[in-house]
Amino acid sequence: MPLVTSKEILQTALANHFAIGAFNANNMEQIQGIIEAAQEERSPVILQVSQGAIRYAGLEFAAAMVRTAASLVDVPVVLHLDHGYDFEQNVQCLRAGFTSLMYDGSKKSFDDNVAMTRKIVEIAHIAGIPVESELGRVAQSTDKLTHEQVCALMTDPQEAKRFVELTGADSLAVACGSVHAMQAQAAELDIARIKAIHEQIPGTPLVLHGSSGVKTDSFMAAIDFGISKINVATYLNQAFTRGMREALAKYPDEVDPRKFLTQSREYVKEAVREKIRLFRSANTIDASGGFRSPSKQYRSADIGAAE
């Protein structure tokens, strides 16, 4: 299928209480693993590239690989910019055919974040492309913050409402207890805060960054209260590298890199399948590539009660 925008699939996820995995990739094997997993699970998928991935693979190269991979499957695939830190990067991605952008002004003042987000939203919307923004700040594990410091950076629900009204952003990354690049699954999300933000902006899909370090139980509650996109990077990197290490140890005399990369690709695919099932987006796509009629397919208690 041709690429789709994140707007189309996130609104459906929000309305039906499931979340769509947004998986980071840097190379062909990771892209293939992610998209094959989505195809087998009949799930929409967001494939995202960070600025680091763009530096590594090249913007045109990354975009072309994802477009090609998407054209070979019949589930919706989005090509998303993860953490665009400036205006130029967003415009370059728009031109390269990205179907979803992100401007991360979370380190700036509220007013500066609003002004730049608004500017990017205006341009992207002319081209029909949605924009994710970030308010509050999801810290990095290397920041080595205390629990109190992580809490101080969390998104304020009232501010979130003002921010979305002022910017017209299509989705909002919220800081609610997760931390980027955590290796252990030890973080608890502030579910009451997510719920309060969702009540302020019920029509805006919320985005969870730093999911690799979040406890599984925490996800489930978060999805019920508006988290519609969940970013996964570190967990996939761990799987990729584990595959390579195991294959290198198993075939110490092998020089053909395909032997190692095949194992890495398989492990990425398994990790993505596991996350897709956990986020409840498995089996939401029918044979024609559209969403199945919701009622029976989505496992939310809310949906069950409404029937």
Residues near Zn ion (CB under 5 A) are: 209
From the list 49, 54, 167, the residue with the least C-alpha distance to 100 is 49
* Smallest separation (angstroms) from Zn ion to the CB of 117: 16
Task: Decide if 302 is catalytic.
Answer: no
Element (H, E) at 154: none
**Of 83 and 265, which CB lies nearer to Zn ion in the complex structure?**
83
- Rama region for 135: left / alpha / beta (φ>0; ψ in -120 to 50; rest): beta
DSSP string, 107-149: TS-HHHHHHHHHHHHHHHHHTT--EEEEES---BGGG---HHH
**Of 51 and 300, which CB lies nearer to Zn ion in the complex structure?**
51
- Angle, helix 59-71 to helix 28-41, in steps of 10 degrees: 30
* Smallest separation (angstroms) from Zn ion to the CB of 10: 16
**Of 137 and 209, which CB lies nearer to Zn ion in the complex structure?**
209
* Smallest separation (angstroms) from Zn ion to the CB of 52: 11
* Smallest separation (angstroms) from Zn ion to the CB of 283: 27
Residue 208 β-bridge partners: 174, 230
* Smallest separation (angstroms) from Zn ion to the CB of 209: 3
SS3 at position 106? coil
Distance CA 246, CA 226 (A): 39
Residue 138 near residue 129 (C-beta atoms within 8 A): no
From the list 204, 223, 292, the residue with the least C-alpha distance to 7 is 204
* Smallest separation (angstroms) from Zn ion to the CB of 287: 34
Residue nearest to Zn ion (CB): 209
Residue tagged active-site, from 82, 104, 190, 224: 82
From the list 294, 276, 296, the residue with the least C-alpha distance to 19 is 276
Q: H helices within the chain, ranges in order? A: 6-16, 28-41, 51-57, 59-71, 87-95, 110-126, 147-152, 157-167, 191-200, 216-224, 234-250, 257-278, 294-297, 301-306
Distance CA 121, CA 132 (A): 9
Q: What amino acid occupies position 11?
A: Q
**Of 223 and 282, which CB lies nearer to Zn ion in the complex structure?**
223
Distance CA 2, CA 97 (A): 11
**Of 209 and 229, which CB lies nearer to Zn ion in the complex structure?**
209
**Of 25 and 261, which CB lies nearer to Zn ion in the complex structure?**
25
Residues known to be catalytic = 82
